[in-house]
Amino acid sequence: MRGSRRSLTVVALLAGVLVGLGLALPALAAEGQPIFTLADPKGDDYGDGTLQYPLRTDMQAGDLDLVRFAASAQAGGTLFEATFARSVRVPARRTIDPVGTTLDKIAKLGFYTFNIDVYIDTDRIPGSGSTQTLPGRRAAIAPANAWEKVVCLTPRPYDAQDMLKAIYVREAKMEFKRRQGSVTSADVDTISASVGREVASSVFFPTVVSVTGRSIRFFVPDAFLGGPAKDTWSYVVAITGADVQLKVDVSAIMGSEGASPGLMIIPILPGKGFDNFGTNREGDDLQPTLVDIIVPPGTTQEAVLKDYDLMGGRPVALPGVVPAGVKAK
């Protein structure tokens, strides 16, 4: 066991070095003991049924259509695998901004069009945990499946982590100011340290990633989950479009008191657009930005994502799936 952990550490360190150099990651170790597999219907990458893909040519129907989500045990952690209806788009060496930045330089993990959020209820105690989703998702988690851990696979994990901390620090500062009337620099330091610890313990951004055809695999260490993933835990799996070109200005985020920015996510807006998902709804601030989700037997994605109250301000409540309770197909 000690040798296996040492080997895993070496692999993880090597992967980090390669990512930093902008080089391709090596193939991950062969899959170990399967933990669970969840199937999702093909052709449902349309959110609540009305969401339309952006007009850009490098993101088309099927690209974000999740058809399978699985987990297997690996030395020192869990290997998750998501399979889509179409091959995962690999970032090309093409210029994406006026200063000459190329896509492959900012999306170094081998993908760039999607985020995968996995909200995990490990204690299975209704109401114990958080029901909040990551910023910009326009959804909540059902209280019965309140989560203890979140895994967010995103093309820019380090930037996403910094951005998430900045968003949470800003929100905590606003709440502190509302209660106390003012915020000192010492208060900000305390808030920042507390938020940093909370994010580190509850949200994980994978950096050891492998892309093969229609599938993407990502490693989550036991140190984060508290052990290998279990099929008796509850999982909410949601796919969103990734805004890989988003400028991450941490200081600006922390200093702002406006609407909370979304975390590395393509927004949904009325009509069709090149850089947004389209909708036929005007003035709807609660229509989820989720493209595809896995739902429990007996319900549908469309029903779940339409069940919100715009007038009352109630977002959709995403139910979790317990793999042990789902019959294999």
The pLDDT, as a whole number, for residue 250 is 56
**The tokens of 222 are what?**
């036991």
- Phi first, then psi, for residue 140 (nearest 5°) are -125, 170
Query: 304-312: long-range contacts at Cβ-Cβ below 8 A with a sequence spacing of 24 or more?
Result: 305/47, 305/48, 305/49, 305/139, 306/48, 306/49, 310/284, 310/285, 310/286
Q: Residue 6: count other Cβ atoms within 10 Å of its Cβ.
A: 12
Strand partners, 78: 73, 220
DSSP 8-state secondary structure symbol assigned to residue 232? T
Q: Residue 75: count other Cβ atoms within 10 Å of its Cβ.
A: 16
Strand partners, 70: 37, 81
State the chain's maximal CA–CA distance in angstroms.
58
Cα 127 from Cα 155, distance rounded (Å): 31
Cα 27 from Cα 113, distance rounded (Å): 21
- Phi first, then psi, for residue 244 (nearest 5°) are -75, -20
- Phi first, then psi, for residue 270 (nearest 5°) are -60, 140
Domains, the chain, with CATH or none:
29-160+208-244+264-325 (2.60.40.1190)
- Residue 293, CA distances (Å) to 1, 16, 206, 222, 299 in order: 36, 30, 20, 25, 12
User: Which of 257, 278, 259, 261 shows the shortest CA–CA distance to 269?
Assistant: 278
Judge whether 74 and 32 are in contact, CB under 8 Å: yes
User: Which of 121, 110, 115 shows the shortest CA–CA distance to 24?
Assistant: 110
- Block residue for tokens 């209806």: 85
Q: At what angle do helices 157-180 and 185-202 cross, to 10 degrees?
A: 130
Cα 87 from Cα 149, distance rounded (Å): 28
The pLDDT, as a whole number, for residue 193 is 94
Count how many Cα atoms sit within 13 Å of the Cα of residue 152 in the half-sphere of its side chain: 27
Local confidence pLDDT in tens for the 329 residues of the chain: 344 333 334 334 334 433 344 444 434 434 489 999 999 999 999 999 999 999 999 999 999 999 999 999 999 999 999 999 999 999 988 887 888 888 888 999 999 999 999 999 999 999 899 999 999 999 999 999 999 999 999 999 999 999 999 999 998 888 888 888 888 889 888 989 999 999 999 999 999 999 999 999 999 999 999 999 999 999 999 999 999 887 665 555 555 665 667 899 999 999 989 999 999 888 899 999 999 999 999 999 999 999 999 999 999 999 999 999 876 55
The pLDDT, as a whole number, for residue 257 is 60
CA dihedral angle for residue 155, residue 158, residue 161, residue 164, rounded to 10 degrees = -70
- Block residue for tokens 């209820």: 121
pTM of the predicted model, to two decimals? 0.87
Cα 198 from Cα 179, distance rounded (Å): 21
Judge whether 176 and 189 are in contact, CB under 8 Å: no
- Block residue for tokens 């600006």: 252
Query: 12-17: long-range contacts at Cβ-Cβ below 8 A with a sequence spacing of 24 or more?
Result: 12/208, 12/219, 12/221, 15/207, 15/208, 16/207
